[in-house]
Structure formats: structure tokens, C-alpha cells
């Protein structure tokens, strides 16, 4: 066990962030947690007041890191927490947005604050208050004014001025994985939130234990409770996951009753099986994923505020595919290899023309839609290269020709599936082999095209 200094930093340089603060209770007062490559600190904060953050020993919150200026930022605590830059060299950001001198911006609980290369989160207080109050311009203290020739928005050499959204995401994943803090992953449908969650687990100290996924919308409440918490003598998923990581996918769909039970797990690190009374200890790191605005759901009363606060140790937003077009080539290449293998076809080339079409499309369904498009194109293409005319192009909604092409391709694929099922007397396994796709892909297409699934002996060979 390593020794720790008064602010919670490991003296041996290891990052040790905990999912719960002291005594497992963060509801009473806000808390600041900072972490970087090689260390961390965690300390309680007053409910109100103004604190300076920087490398100087005279700062209220001292972060000894080379990317942090002597007086880097000013944190204003109150009903709404706000932060402003103090004329730092490497800048202050909230969720990637630069913060200026004299312009304190509201920061919500769990929102990522970047102090140079250090990631800071504030836990506690009202997690939705920052969304309800507009920013107020304040005059900065004289000691924090920039000289006329300086600018708080111009990054110095070696800083992250040209960092792409995915480079920023990669950096956050690496830092967050090193600790044990609970994570909320947000982003549009199909952006790959589960992939990010798995990467956090694999890079964490829990990697040797299991990674478990809970799909909140998959089961009715009574069945979900039995699966998660156990029943009678049977252990549930949370007990089985002790020492590992649990991803609660579509966490917004959890019934309110299950939300209350999950809150107990996060607060007390224990579960109570259905039809029992005795608690059982568990040790689980939770990662929650959603494409919905949980803060809005809290305001509507459809999601528990206390559970939102507990799950939201830190928020990681996965950018949509249209904001990371530079990745389309690599992602499409990997998906093409997999699609060819599933279809039992020789590897196919991704030509410049095909890639140009992929990069010109906005992908409202993100990586999931790209995967489906690649699989369809493999099915419809002839020869050893992906047919560009089998791929979507342009912007959906304002590209009439592209929309007609997509409809034609869908109609053609639907007809081929119907014919294959007729030839195979409804046997899905044989039909999938005839089409050159996996049975799982065929089942997915049946649902997508609203085709009835054959019953009885037609299900499997």
C-alpha cells in the first residue's frame, strides 16, 4: 500500500482515484478531484467561496504539474460553480471549450475541466444548477489581468491547439482508465460508447477481472432486478462482477424502482438479493452510457438526481462520426475486413472513389450505420473491390440522388433475402450461407425490413 500526501496524491506516482469519496458520501459537500499522467489529488471543497488553482504553494488548490501555471485558474463556488482562467500559459477548458480571463463559466458536476494537461472534476452540489443559470461577466482581479501582448486563447508551442476531438477523447480515456472513478459516457446512437467503455476497463487495474454489460431496456423491471441483484440463493450480475467493471448501457431506460436499488449499490457497495434481507458486499466500477440528456430527465422527474450524481463521476462525450471524418478510412477498413470474413468472401479493396463517398456522407447513425453500409456493399459488390455505387454519398436529406440510390439498394437487398429464404424453405442458416452473410446479420436485416422470421424448423439447420 502506497503512502499518500495530505491532498490524496500517491507519493509513488500512481493514480488512485476512488469511485466514492471519504466514507462513501459526497452529498454533503462538493469535492474536487484532479488527475494526470502519473498522479492525482482529491480534496473537499467549501460550499461557497473563491479558490485559486495553480502550481504555486500559495494557491488554495495546488497542482504540481508542469502544464499548470503558478496561478492558473479561479474557482467560484456557490449555488452554481464557475471557473475562470487566470492568465495561464496553457489555458483552461470546460468540455473542450476555452475559458477566458474575467469570464467565469458555469461548470456542472462531473463535467471535464482541463487545467493545462490536468483533468479536474467537481462532484457535489446541484448537478443541474449550471444549466439553469446563464454566465455572468465578472471583472478579473488585477493580478490576473493579461499584458496587452498576451492572449488567453493562443496556445504556446507544444500545447493542444490542433487537438482533434478524438485525440482529446483518447487522452481522457487514458487518464480516466488509471483510476476507479465512475464514468458517464454520452453521445449519439451508434458512436461506439460501448467500445470506449471496454477500452477504459482494459486499461484499468480491473482488467484482469470481468467486463459486464447491462442493457437497461432489454428486460422488464422484475426480471432486470433478478438478473442484476440476484434472487434467493442465486447471485446476480453485480456480485459476479466484483473486482471488475459493469457497463450500464442505455442507463436512461432504467425503471425508477431499479434506479433506487442501483443507488444503494453505488452508495454502500452492497446488494440485497430479491426476496432476501441481508446485504452482500460488492466491489464494482460502474460506467453508464446514454444518448439522452440525463440532466433534462432529472428536471422532468424521470431519472433520479442522486443516481445521476453518483454515476457521473466524470463525463466523457464521444463525438459523432461526422466530426471525426479523419477516422472514417481506418474504421471502414476494419469493418470491411470483418464484413468480408462474415460473408466468406476474399478480402476486398476500399478504393479512393469508395472512400470519397464514405467521407462525404454525414452518417446520422454513426459507426453503426457505417457498419451496416459496409456489410450491404460487400453483399452487393462484384469483383475484388467495394463498389462505390453500393455506398451512400453526400448529405442525407438534401441529396435526392443519394436517397434514391439508398432506397433502391434496400429494395434490392430485401428482395434477395426473400428469394433466399424461399429457396431454403425458410431455413435462416442456409439462407444466410446462400447470401454470403452471417446468420446474425440476416436476422438483423429481417427486423430492419419488417420481414417475418420463419418459425419452427426453419430457424436453424
85 membership: H or E segment, kind and range: strand 82-85
Q: Which domain holds residue 223?
A: 167-319
Q: Are residues 303 and 350 in the same domain?
A: no
Count of domains observed in the chain: 3
C-alpha cell at 229: 441483484
- Please state, in angstroms and rounded to a whole number, the distance separating the CA atoms of residues 111 and 89: 22
Q: Are residues 182 and 300 in the same domain?
A: yes
- The DSSP letter of residue 208 is T
- Please state, in angstroms and rounded to a whole number, the distance separating the CA atoms of residues 228 and 461: 34
- Please state, in angstroms and rounded to a whole number, the distance separating the CA atoms of residues 63 and 61: 7
- Domain final residue pick, 126, 159, 193: 126
Query: Nearest Cα to 33, choosing from 23, 18, 47?
Result: 18
Q: Are residues 117 and 223 in the same domain?
A: no
Q: Are residues 105 and 202 in the same domain?
A: no
- Asked if the structure places residue 147 within a domain, the reply is no
- Asked if the structure places residue 9 within a domain, the reply is no
- Please state, in angstroms and rounded to a whole number, the distance separating the CA atoms of residues 309 and 124: 8
Contacts of 59 by beta carbon, 8 Å cutoff, 6+ apart: 52, 53, 70, 71, 72
- Domain final residue pick, 126, 145, 179: 126
- Asked if the structure places residue 421 within a domain, the reply is yes
Q: Are residues 312 and 389 in the same domain?
A: no
Q: Are residues 185 and 83 in the same domain?
A: no
- Tally helices (H) and strands (E) across the chain: 14, 18
Q: What is the CATH number of the domain that holds 442?
A: 1.10.8.60
- Asked if the structure places residue 152 within a domain, the reply is no
- Asked if the structure places residue 103 within a domain, the reply is yes
pLDDT, residue 331, reads 94
pLDDT in tens, the chain (461 residues): 333 333 343 333 333 333 333 333 444 568 898 888 878 888 888 989 999 999 999 999 999 999 999 999 999 999 899 999 999 999 999 988 899 998 999 998 889 999 998 999 998 655 444 444 343 333 333 333 333 332 222 333 333 556 777 888 888 898 888 888 899 999 999 999 999 999 999 999 999 999 999 988 888 888 999 999 999 999 999 999 999 999 999 999 999 999 999 999 999 999 999 999 889 999 999 999 999 999 999 999 999 999 998 898 899 999 999 998 999 999 999 999 999 998 888 999 999 999 999 999 999 999 999 999 999 899 888 889 999 988 987 654 445 555 555 666 677 778 888 888 988 888 888 888 887 777 777 888 888 888 887 764 444 43
- Asked if the structure places residue 157 within a domain, the reply is no
- Asked if the structure places residue 363 within a domain, the reply is yes
- Please state, in angstroms and rounded to a whole number, the distance separating the CA atoms of residues 189 and 292: 9
Chain centroid to CA 282: 24
**Any alpha helices (H) in 343-461, and if so which ranges?**
352-360, 366-380, 400-423, 428-435, 439-448
Neighbours of 458 (CB within 10 A): 17
- Asked if the structure places residue 1 within a domain, the reply is no
Query: Nearest Cα to 166, choosing from 385, 354, 367?
Result: 367
- Please state, in angstroms and rounded to a whole number, the distance separating the CA atoms of residues 393 and 377: 13
Q: Are residues 233 and 188 in the same domain?
A: yes
pLDDT, residue 386, reads 92
Looking up cell 430457424 gives: 459
- Domain final residue pick, 94, 126, 158: 126
Q: What is the CA radius of gyration of the chain?
A: 25
Q: Are residues 229 and 248 in the same domain?
A: yes
Tell me the sheet residues that pair with 218: none
Q: What is the CATH number of the domain that holds 92?
A: 2.60.200.20
Q: Are residues 327 and 401 in the same domain?
A: yes
Phi/psi of residue 182, each to 5°? -70, 150
- Please state, in angstroms and rounded to a whole number, the distance separating the CA atoms of residues 327 and 370: 12
Q: What is the CATH number of the domain that holds 209?
A: 3.40.50.300
Q: Are residues 243 and 361 in the same domain?
A: no
Q: Are residues 183 and 289 in the same domain?
A: yes
- Please state, in angstroms and rounded to a whole number, the distance separating the CA atoms of residues 327 and 319: 11
For residue 135, CA distances in Å to 91, 102, 320 come to 19, 11, 27
> DSSP letters along 324-373, please?
-GGGHHHHHHHHHHHHHHHTT----B--HHHHHHHHHS--TTHHHHHHHH
Q: Are residues 106 and 181 in the same domain?
A: no
- The SS3 call for residue 73 is strand
Amino acid at each position: 500500500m502506497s503512502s499518500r500526501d495530505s491532498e490524496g496524491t500517491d507519493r509513488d506516482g500512481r493514480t488512485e482515484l476512488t469511485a466514492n469519496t471519504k466514507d462513501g458520501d459526497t452529498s454533503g459537500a462538493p469535492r474536487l478531484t484532479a488527475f494526470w499522467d502519473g498522479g492525482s489529488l482529491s480534496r473537499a471543497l467549501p460550499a461557497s467561496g473563491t479558490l485559486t488553482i495553480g502550481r504555486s504553494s500559495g494557491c488554495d488548490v495546488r497542482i504540481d504539474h508542469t502544464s499548470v501555471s503558478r496561478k492558473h485558474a479561479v474557482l467560484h463556488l456557490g449555488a452554481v460553480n464557475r471557473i475562470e482562467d487566470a492568465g495561464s500559459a496553457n489555458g483552461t477548458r470546460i468540455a473542450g471549450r476555452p475559458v477566458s480571463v474575467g469570464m467565469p463559466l458555469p461548470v456542472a458536476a462531473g463535467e471535464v475541466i482541463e487545467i493545462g494537461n490536468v483533468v479536474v472534476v467537481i462532484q457535489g452540489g446541484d448537478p443541474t444548477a449550471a444549466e439553469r443559470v446563464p454566465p455572468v461577466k465578472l471583472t478579473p482581479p488585477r493580478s490576473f489581468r493579461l499584458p496587452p501582448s498576451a492572449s488567453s486563447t493562443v496556445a504556446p508551442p507544444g500545447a493542444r491547439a490542433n487537438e482533434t476531438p478524438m485525440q482529446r477523447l483518447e487522452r481522457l480515456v487514458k487518464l480516466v482508465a488509471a483510476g476507479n472513478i465512475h464514468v458517464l459516457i454520452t453521445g449519439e446512437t451508434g458512436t461506439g460508447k460501448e467500445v470506449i467503455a471496454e477500452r477504459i476497463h482494459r486499461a484499468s487495474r480491473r482488467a484482469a477481472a470481468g467486463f459486464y454489460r447491462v442493457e437497461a431496456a432489454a428486460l422488464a423491471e422484475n426480471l432486470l432486478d433478478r438478473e442484476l441483484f440476484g434472487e434467493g440463493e442465486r447471485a446476480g450480475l453485480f456480485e459476479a462482477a466484483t473486482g471488475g467493471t459493469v457497463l450500464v448501457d442505455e442507463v436512461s431506460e432504467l425503471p425508477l424502482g431499479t434506479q433506487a436499488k442501483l443507488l444503494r449499490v453505488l452508495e454502500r457497495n452492497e446488494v440485497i438479493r430479491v426476496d432476501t434481507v441481508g446485504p452482500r458486499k460488492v466491489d464494482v466500477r460502474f460506467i453508464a452510457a446514454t444518448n439522452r440528456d440525463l440532466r433534462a430527465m432529472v428536471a422532468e422527474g424521470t431519472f433520479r438526481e442522486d443516481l445521476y450524481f453518483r454515476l457521473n463521476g466524470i463525463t466523457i462525450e464521444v463525438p459523432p462520426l461526422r466530426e471525426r471524418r479523419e477516422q472514417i478510412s481506418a474504421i471502414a477498413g476494419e469493418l470491411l475486413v470483418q464484413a468480408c470474413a462474415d460473408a466468406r468472401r476474399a478480402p476486398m479493396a476500399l478504393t479512393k472513389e469508395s472512400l470519397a463517398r464514405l467521407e462525404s456522407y454525414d452518417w446520422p447513425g454513426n459507426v453503426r450505420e457505417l457498419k451496416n453500409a459496409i456489410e450491404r456493399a460487400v453483399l452487393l459488390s462484384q469483383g475484388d473491390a467495394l463498389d462505390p455505387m453500393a455506398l451512400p454519398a453526400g448529405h442525407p436529406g438534401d441529396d435526392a440522388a443519394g436517397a434514391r440510390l439508398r432506397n433502391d439498394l434496400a429494395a434490392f437487398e430485401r428482395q434477395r433475402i426473400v428469394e433466399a429464404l424461399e429457396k431454403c424453405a425458410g431455413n435462416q442458416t442456409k439462407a444466410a450461407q446462400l447470401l454470403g452473410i452471417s446468420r446474425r446479420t440476416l436476422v438483423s436485416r429481417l427486423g430492419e425490413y419488417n420481414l417475418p422470421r420463419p418459425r419452427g424448423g426453419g430457424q436453424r439447420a
